[in-house]
Amino acid sequence: MSTIISNSTRLKTPKYKWSQQTSIVLLLIPCAIIAMLPFVWMILSSLKTGAEIRQLPATFWPQEMTWGNYQRILSDPRLPLGLYYKNSFIVASLSTCLTLFTSSLFGYLLAKHSFRGRQVLFGFILATMILPFQVTMIPSYLILLKLGLLYKLWGLILPAGISAFGIFLMRQFSLAIPTDLLDAARIDGAGEWHIFGRIVIPLLTPAIASLGLLSFMSHWNAYLWPLIVLKDETRTLPIILTWYSNQHGSRMELTMAAAVLISIPILIVFLFCQKWLVKGITLTGLR
Amino acid sequence: MSLSAHINPQDFKETLVKRRLRNAGQKRFLLQALAPLFIYFAVFSLLPIIWALTLMFFEYSPRRDGYDALLGLGKDNPFVGLSHFKAMFQSSSKEVSSFHLSLKNSLLFSSLVLPLNIALSLCLALLIESIPKRLRVLFRTLFFLPVLSSSVAVAIMWGFLLHPQHGLVNSLLSTFNGELTIISWLSDPRLSFLGVPVAMLTVVVAYLWQDLGYNLIIFTAALQALPKQFMEAAQIDGATPWQCFRFIKLPLLYPTIALTSIFTLISAFQVFDLIEVLTNGGPFDQTKVLVLDIYQNAFRFERMGFASAESFVLFMIVFLLSVMQLRLLRQRWNY
Amino acid sequence: MNFQKEQSCGSLRQATKLASQTKRLTKTDVFTSNDKKNLPFTNLKLSIVLVSLLSLFFLTTTAVAQDLTVWMHQNLIMQDALDELAKTYMEENDGVTISFESFSYDSYLQSLQTALPSNNEADIMQLFGSWVCSFSSHLAKVPEDIVSVEKAQEDFFESSIAGYICNDELYGIPQESNIEFGAVLINGLHLNRAGLATPNWPTWDAVRKSARALTQRQNDYVLRAGLHYTSMDQIGFSLLSLIKQQGGVYQLEDGTFTFDTEEAAIALELLKTFVDDGTIDPVLFNGNQNWVGDCIYTESCAMGIIGQWVIGEYREYYPELSKELYYLPLPYLGEEQHVVTDSGWGMTVSENSEHQDVAWDFIKFVGLNLDNALRFNIVSNTIPALKANTTGEAQETLYELYPYFDTIIELLPYTSYIGTTTDRDLLLYEIIYPNVMAVLQDLQTIEEALAIIETEANESQ
């Protein structure tokens, strides 16, 4: 490892001394340990027995490792985790697909087509972008109620399928598409939908990938809105996790195991997409 | 598009026809694409806004009947004009004092989160940026993990970490102290540090832990994008790393820092999940933030009108912050 | 448990089906019996009309599927109990399907508040008795032929039925009695370890003495609380009950709240002595942290004030510990025991339901049939709301299964309903709880707290 460090140091950043780098790494390691500690504690706790959890003061390493908590959760007929995974997946993926489609189409129209009221519409979209969700939460709830979509997964997906931020982002990226390219295609006789699908979308792909990941992540982790508009079999994972934790307030080892089961898989998936996520965040600053 | 200058009349006529056809095609496309999109946008984005703005002038609860079937306004949900806003300044009722308190808490929360977040993430970014690439990616990933996890899971995790009897934090403290130490990090209203309730600080720490990764990524990217020649020139002139940071990197980073600050502030103002699960506003409303109050008023106590008015205050705060942000954005583009 | 098969007469369709069995002469009965006889030729015309009417009747009734939806709060054992009863009911009544949808406690109230006015609710809603009157404008009245108000008041405990009666009209049938105060849940293991016999508490001093003996402390920290009484419901019902025990009131005839009273001050002083004695630290043990149920089961509390329902909910996870738990009656201030309670969970029907007749028939099956009502209580570990189910054979069955029920059932004659307040959760959780907690944590004097409670309670109306 040290040779790699020294090599690359010499090659790329000659300004830093080897010892300086080591000390920085030594400084970063405790920081990283602190950052990881809650996760580690969660996993370790999920492997403890109930009796050990209730010990005082708390232990760090499990005295007696057990998978029983996981077995218990996975075999709990009252906690069909598969169903909630499916719900979360359906909601997050459909909302994301819808968002991507509406955002790229709307953004492209706003950027590359002229129509009456375009500026006003764009202004509206900007205004909704800065509007906190909590402001429109109440009316959105009432709208779902009137549309009969309350408690249904579609009730979660449809309002999430259009995002002012996404539209704004796609408009900015569409602006960068050369109009000449579009006109050339038109002269070649390409239809407008064809142009959108074959020219605009490919050009927007990097932005779409980033927006898609960010939006999937935020829908997957969403809590407040699903809490309000779902019940029973349509609940998503974060809602189930709080329910389970309330239900088993005294059994922290079970709650921690549930938290591991619910959050770890998606963390792993996201880790693989990290590159695009990072790109998306640096590109947009979006939270 | 510059078409060839020498075109014969026949061709010219053809292009005209084509162009007209094209325009017709574009119009149809606009109609096909824009109309449904606009309706969609109107129903799920515009309508809620207009509705929200309307509700704040009413004393509204969905349980009561109104004149019209759609909005349910009027009759038992009477129009009250600006009285919600007047009450915010004059009344001393429970809901108003709760609003004042939660607004104060939100300001406190954001003003704690902002400097700590920027300072910590910038420091970490500087450290991470100066180590070799492979390690850099590793560390960045570790610090980024909390960002990816759901705030509910984070809250549950931290709740247990901070459990007075069975949590790790008190257990570690006991080990260091050599005697049993039990601190109620989240439920002791009497504890405070520098005038800030400990429960609030604890929530801030948990929030920072989850939120740091965002800014860290933005700052690392910004640092990497800095023009290298300045630093090299400074190094040749014998500048120390601190001087290098203070006089070259920091000024170059100002626009990024300013922008990131506002994003951080906006999201801090909208914090809900973490606090709802971790403390639900307690102890004695010491961690009750604005969104929590709005949520409780709207969905728990059926004061949707007042909740709407509160949301409007939140909107104004975020709006002002966003205007500042757009200003800064423009500056950065110029720069 | 065997079910007494009750023949329903709620729905016309079932009446037709069971016409030959039932002795009751309904309209359909007449038609069916006519149909079976040799039809006189002179009445051919009439009979054709009758037959066609009858077939039309059958056609239309079979066309309308009788699908009932029941909303309930998320409570696993209550769900089990209702599921079981619904299954039996569906077996007995062809064509009726009953499905359950459950909400977490917090979102349930909010869903009801929005769903009811927009006619978006289920046919049957399991409501907490104390909520019923705030929804009564959207609920159907209990039909006279199911049970009359007078009969219901006679059959059910006053504290259980009172929440379901709004302006002298009955809006639902309670399934359980909900008692949170008046008895203490105790972990016998701690008692044994401390070498103590099962105490008998003639006075509150005796309770304090036991609590002190069971408290475990180290370095000024309460490791195990002697008596946990500082959860949200418990604080509220302790205060209200202790006021009533002294002959005081907390709500005047006209509905105004009065808390700034001598009785209330005495009640709070009594509650505070447990903190002053060091038997509990309200910062560590309260409604949010170390909640009384969790506390008892994690053995961080020796005793706790909480209803017996908690044993039902935790039994599955702590089968061994549950056997060691039982109840001890608390002494009272003043002349006679008095416990203020909520009206517990029960069934109501939506005014908009298309199948109100079937809905009431099902509720009658579940809540008025003695055996079924008892079965519900047994599966869900709840105290009966029907007086008849707390005596005789039913009582024996209950005590055999749950010996600790006796202490609580003996309290039932001394209970009274909390009263129709606009928002009971607001009063208990947002007004009484935080202010009393502030007293217990020395952040507020008793006088200050009571004055604030009184003002806020009256403001909230």
pLDDT of B12 > 70? The answer is no
To the nearest whole percent, how much of chain C has pLDDT over 70? 85
Which segment of B1-5, B228-232, B277-281, C225-229 scores lowest on mean pLDDT?
B1-5
* C402 closest CA partner among C308, C328, C314: C308
- Of A128 and C296, the structure prediction assigns the larger pLDDT to C296
Write out the H or E segment, with its range, that includes residue C341: strand C339-343
CB-CB neighbors (< 8 A) of C74 in chain A: 243
Q: Touching check for C225 and chain B: CB below 8 Å? A: no
pLDDT classification of C433: cutoffs 50, 70, 90? very high
Residue type, C305: I
For position C81, what pLDDT does the model report? 94
Give the pLDDT score at B22: 66
The 8-class DSSP code of residue C143 comes to P
Chain C nearest C-alpha distance from A250 (Å): 5
Q: Please, is C63 exposed, middle or buried when counting C-beta atoms within 10 Å of its C-beta (0-12, 13-18, 19+)? A: exposed
Q: What is the pLDDT of residues B174-207, one digit of tens each?
A: 999 888 888 999 988 888 898 899 999 999 999 9
Predicted pLDDT of residue B179 = 86
- Of all residues in chain B, the one with the smallest CA distance to A240 is B152
Q: What is the CATH number of domain C183-336+421-459?
A: 3.40.190.10
Q: What integer is the mean pLDDT of C213-228?
A: 91
Element (H, E) at A284: helix A274-284
Find, among B126, B121, B122, the residue nearest to B136 by Cα.
B126
Q: Which chains touch C (3 or more CB pairs under 8 A)?
A: A, B
| pLDDT for the residue C90 | 94
Closest CA in chain B for residue C436: B284
The residue ranking higher by pLDDT, B105 or C35, is B105
Per the CB < 8 A criterion, the answer to whether C114 and B59 are in contact is no
- Contact check, Cβ <8 Å, C438/B94: no
Amino acid at residue number C272: K
C66-179+343-401 against C183-336+421-459: fold identical: yes
Domains and CATH numbers, chain A: 2-74 (no CATH), 81-284 (1.10.3720.10)
Which residue would you say has higher pLDDT here, B67 or C359? C359
| Residue scoring higher pLDDT (C403 or A273) | C403
Q: What is the mean pLDDT of residues B104-115?
A: 94
Tell which of A6, A8, A15, A102 to mutate to test the B interface (max B CBs under 10 Å).
Answer: A15
d(CA C160, CA C152): 10
Residues B76-102 have a mean pLDDT of 86
C457 contacts chain B (CB < 8 A):
no
Residue C414's pLDDT is 94
Q: Which residues of C touch B174 (CB under 8 A)?
A: none
**Closest C-alpha among C199, C167, C164 to residue C184:** C199
Q: Quote the pLDDT of residue B265.
A: 87
CA end-to-end span of chain C: 46
Domain ranges within chain C, ordered by starting residue: 12-63, 66-179+343-401, 183-336+421-459
Q: Looking at chain A, which subunits does it touch, using at least 3 CB pairs closer than 8 Å as the criterion?
A: B, C
Q: B12 at the A interface (CB within 8 A)?
A: no
Q: How far apart are CA C3 and CA B328, in angstroms?
A: 75
| Between residues C235 and C57, the one the model is more confident about | C235
CB contact under 8 Å between A248 and C317, yes or no, is yes
Neighboring chain B residues of C113 at a CB cutoff of 8 Å: 61-63, 302
- CA-to-CA separations, B210 to B127, B154, B155, B205, in angstroms, rounded: 19, 7, 10, 9
Q: What is the pLDDT of residue B330?
A: 67
- In DSSP terms, C325 is beta-bridged to C187
| The predicted structure's pLDDT at residue A152 | 86
Mean pLDDT, residues C355-380: 94
Mean pLDDT (chain B) is 84
Are B25 and A192 inside 8 Å of each other by CB?
A: yes
Give the nearest partner residue to C291 out of A54, A228, A249, using CB atoms: A249
Question: Strands across the sheet with C66-73, in order?
Answer: C96-103, C66-73, C124-128, C345-349, C172-174
DSSP letter string, C411-436: TGGGEEE----S-HHIIIIIIIHHHH
Give A251's contacts in chain C (Cβ within 8 Å).
317
For position A1, what pLDDT does the model report?
35
Partner residue opposite B63 with nearest CB, options C113, C443, C460: C113
User: Could A141 and C114 be called an inter-chain contact, meaning their C-beta atoms sit closer than 8 Å?
Assistant: yes
pLDDT of B335: 40
Confidence of residue C65 (pLDDT cuts 50, 70, 90): low
Contact by Cβ (8 Å): C457, C431 = yes
Class of the CATH-defined domain B91-153+188-334: mainly alpha
More reliable by pLDDT, C5 or A116: A116
> What is the number of helices (H) and of strands (E) in chain A?
16, 0
How far apart (Å, rounded) are the C-alpha atoms in residues B270 and B266? Answer: 7
- The answer for residues whose C-beta is within 8 angstroms of residue B63's C-beta and 6 or more apart is B302, C113, C114, C116, C117
Note the pLDDT of residue C400. Answer: 92
Give the three-class secondary structure for B77: strand
Question: Which residues does C231 contact at the CB level (< 8 Å), separation at least 6?
Answer: C286, C287, C291, C292, C305, C306
Got the DSSP string for C53-67? HHHHHHHHHHHS-EE
Angle, helix A81-112 to helix A201-221, in steps of 10 degrees: 140
- List CB contacts of A242: < 8 A, sequence separation 6 or more: A223, A227, B152, B156, B277
Contact B206, B278 (CB under 8 A): yes
According to DSSP, residue C386 is labeled: B
Write down the pLDDT at residue C405. Answer: 93
C189 contacts in chain A (CB < 8 Å)? none
Q: Cβ C443–B190 below 8 Å, yes or no?
A: yes
Residues of A with CB under 8 A from a CB of C: 54, 56, 78, 141-142, 145-146, 148, 150, 227-228, 231-232, 243, 246, 248-251
- Digit-coded pLDDT (tens) for B225-279: 888 887 788 878 888 878 888 888 888 888 888 888 888 888 899 899 899 989 9
> Quick check: bond before A206 cis, omega within 30?
no
What is the residue extent of each domain of chain B? 91-153+188-334
- Please, which residues 14-53 of chain B have a Cβ atom closer than 8 Å to chain A? 18, 22, 25-26, 28-30, 32-34, 37-38, 40-41, 43-49, 51-52
Chain B contact set for C441 (CB, 8 A): 189-190
Which is more confidently placed, A277 or C47?
A: A277
Beta-carbon neighbour count of residue A1 at 10 Å? 9
Q: Does C293 touch chain A (CB under 8 A)?
A: yes
Three-state DSSP state, A274: helix
pLDDT string in tens for chain A (287-residue length): 333 334 433 444 444 567 778 888 888 999 999 999 999 999 999 999 888 888 877 888 999 889 999 998 898 887 888 899 999 999 999 999 999 999 999 999 999 888 888 988 988 887 787 666 767 877 888 888 888 888 888 988 998 899 888 998 899 889 989 999 998 888 888 888 999 999 999 999 888 988 898 889 889 988 888 887 887 778 889 888 888 888 777 788 899 999 998 888 778 877 888 877 787 777 766 55
The CATH superfamily label for domain C66-179+343-401 reads: Periplasmic binding protein-like II (3.40.190.10)
Is C423 in Cβ contact with B301 (below 8 Å)?
yes
Mean pLDDT over C38-65 rounds to: 52
Per-residue pLDDT tens over the stretch C389-402: 999 999 999 999 99
Contact residues for C252 (Cβ-Cβ < 8 A; gap 6+): C258
For residue C236, which phi and psi values (nearest 5 degrees)? Answer: -60, -50
DSSP string covering B228-277? HHHHHHHHHTT--HHHIIIIIIHHHHHHHHHHHHHHHHHHHHT--HHHHH
Please tell me if residue C114 touches chain A, with a CB cutoff of 8 Å: yes
Picking from B10-14, B309-313, C428-432, C435-439, which range would have the lowest pLDDT averaged per residue? B10-14
Q: Which two tokens stand for residue A174?
A: 């569409």
For B111, the enclosing helix (H) or strand (E) is helix B94-129
User: Residue A66: helix, strand or coil by DSSP?
Assistant: coil
Average pLDDT, chain C: 84
Q: Of C113, C219, C298, which has the smallest distance from its Cβ to B179's Cβ?
A: C219
Give the whole-angstrom CA distance, residue C89 versus residue C8: 10
Q: Is the peptide bond before B255 cis (omega within 30 degrees of 0)?
A: no
- How far does C112 lie from chain A, in Å, by closest CA? 12
Residue C38's pLDDT band (cuts 50, 70, 90): very low
Provide, as residue numbers in chain C, all residues whose Cβ is less than 8 Å from the Cβ of A243.
74, 104
C361-373 pLDDT, tens digit per residue, is 999 999 999 999 9
